[in-house]
Amino acid sequence: MSGVTGVIALLLLLTLGIPIGVALGTVGLVGLVFLLGAEPALIKAGGVLFETASRYELGLLPLFLLMAHLCFAAGASRDFFDAAARLIGHRRGGLALASILGCAGFGSISGSSLATAATVGLVGLPEMRRRGYSDALATGAIAAGGTLGSIIPPSGALIVFGILAEQSIGKLFTAAIVPAITQTLFYLVTIVLVCRWRPSLGPALPRVGWRKRRAALLRVGDLVALVVLVLAGIGLGWFTPTEAAAIGVVGALALCARRRRLSRTVLLDALSDTLRTTGMLYVVIIGALIFAVFMSLTGLSDQIAAIMDTQSGNPTIAVVTMAVILLLLGSVLDGLALMLLTTPILLPIIHSLGLSPIWFGIFLVRTMEIGFIHPPIGINLYVIQEIAKDVPLSRIFKGVLPFLAADFLHLALLIAVPAVALALPAWLAT
């Protein structure tokens, strides 16, 4: 009963616009006071605060953020889009395909859906509209492509999940690679099909010569090398994720210097932006961990697991049920709030069903991503509308519909074939 009350109280506080970390922490702390008494609750909360703030593994969060800000200052978003546009812009829907690839490239640095949609949108949207692309296709492609930022490692969402669920962040990053690639492919195929159905939606541009293409590819060479070094280093066990993040920062600094973009202002701005985002995330994580302690004491997960077991006894049905619940909750909650609310409840159920928590992390981030582009929240849609103010929201939503269909198919694939996420980490571990 206390668990259900806690969840309802949390939903209420979140809806009222209380900061997410504060809402989680307040419900968790009040719940602990009721269950354990004031003194043990305060000691527990104080312990969580100090342990989280001094946790070595969490060091990768500010370091990856700093790397992203430095790469952004080095012009990564424009370079990724330009390279993809020159390579495939001459095909039908080529610029929309380039936007998806640009989002995938920039997502591998930014770790954020919103940042990816906003930055690639600033570059790609005006270009597509200037070239006569349909508003719906242009905005839909970038809104959907932006979600790749949440799953392509190093992903902020996966880091938060890893800390919350006490799972190896290195394994989570490795597990996300194949789902990220397949999701990108699903989006590309969607654009090809849409443009084959109605070619006027994405007209082909004149072909660019190989010299210009090679120049654009060479321009992103250093960015790609940095991303590959960081990810391969983690996957192959050369460094821990925190070490990889530090190497990433040094590499990003070198990259800025090589491109003559490194200045005092750039460095200070990157540090300043990093500190603010880091602070927000620490509050959220501390609140979520206090809430998780409370949830584990309520036994709510065990009760839900028992209900699922008696209702179906089939893990696949249980997972589909979870997906439906997550998608419904994603209609009213932001992605981060959704993850922080549901992880402490659903993770023990995943354990009891004998499923992999690493797979669950990928599944959760994937469902969270879908929430970024479906109404009424669909935050990426609003971000795109900020960039293209004259395009009505309804038109952006129409443009994102084919990508939503691709997302549902991809989620079904992830549920039906868990190896999509689990094969690579297992293979690298042998």
Partner 1 sequence: MDELTPDKAPPRPRGPLFYAGAAGLATATVVETIAVSGRWLSLPLHGALEIIQAAILVTACVSMLSATLAGTHASVQLLLNRLTPRRKRLLTRSGSLISAVFFAALTVASIWLTIGHWDGYEETELLHISLRPLRILCSISMLAIVVVFAYRTIKPRASER
Residue list 95-114, contact with partner 1 (CB under 8 A)? 112-114
Give start and end residues of each alpha helix (H) in 38-155.
38-53, 60-73, 76-88, 94-110, 113-130, 135-146, 148-151
Q: Going residue by residue from 178 to 217, which x/- string records binding to partner 1, judged by CB under 8 A? A: ----------------------------------------
Q: Inter-axis angle of helices 94-110 and 135-146, to 10 degrees?
A: 20
Binding-residue total with partner 1 (CB under 8 A): 74
Residues ≥6 apart with Cβ < 8 Å to 70: 249, 252, 253, 255, 256, 266, 267, 270
Of the candidate residues 76, 160, 165, 288, the single one contacting partner 1 (CB under 8 A) = 160
Minimum distance of partner 1 from residue 14's CB (angstroms): 5
Q: How many helices (H) and strands (E) does the chain have?
A: 21, 0
Between 54 and 310, CB nearer to partner 1: 54
* Dist. CA 296–CA 277, nearest whole Å: 28
- Those residues whose C-beta lies under 8 Å from the C-beta of residue 367, and which sit 6 or more positions away, are 323, 326, 327, 330, 338, 411
Q: Sign of dihedral through CA atoms 409, 11, 281, 117?
A: positive
**Helices (DSSP H) in 204-263: which residue ranges?**
210-235, 241-258
297 belongs to the binding site for partner 1 (CB under 8 A): no
380-419 binders of partner 1 (CB under 8 A): 380
377 binds partner 1 (CB under 8 A): yes
Nearer to partner 1, 58 or 231 (CB): 58
Cβ proximity to partner 1, 156 vs 399, nearer residue = 156
The reply to whether 43 sits near partner 1 by the rule CB under 8 A is: yes
Q: Which stretch binds partner 1 (CB under 8 A): 94-102, 215-223, 272-280, 350-358?
A: 272-280
Q: Does 66 bind partner 1 (CB under 8 A)?
A: yes
CB under 8 A: which stretch of 89-97, 224-232, 243-251, 317-325 binds partner 1?
Answer: 243-251
Contact assessment for residue 421 and residue 358, using Cβ atoms and an 8 Å cutoff: yes
d(CA 379, CA 372): 5
- From 147, 74, 63, select the one nearest 370 (Cα to Cα): 147
* Tokens found for residue 194: 């849409």
Nearer to partner 1, 128 or 286 (CB): 286
Residue 361 makes contact with partner 1 by CB under 8 A = no
Radius of gyration of the chain (CA): 22
User: Which one of 97-105, 170-178, 245-253, 410-418 is the stretch in contact with partner 1 (CB under 8 A)?
Assistant: 245-253
Question: By C-beta, is 249 or 346 nearer to partner 1?
Answer: 249
Interface with partner 1, residue 150, by CB under 8 A: yes
Specify the stretch interacting with partner 1 by CB under 8 A; choose among 90-98, 179-187, 241-249, 402-410: 241-249
* Shortest Cβ 157–partner 1 spacing (Å): 7
For residue 203, give the 3-state DSSP assignment. coil
Instruction: Please tell me whether residue 329 binds partner 1 under the rule CB under 8 A.
Output: no
Should residue 22 be labelled a site residue for partner 1 when binding is judged by CB under 8 A? yes
Among 4, 225, 268, 328, binds partner 1 (CB under 8 A): 268
Q: Which stretch binds partner 1 (CB under 8 A): 94-102, 133-141, 195-203, 375-383?
A: 375-383
Short-list 227, 84, 97, CA closest to 152:
227
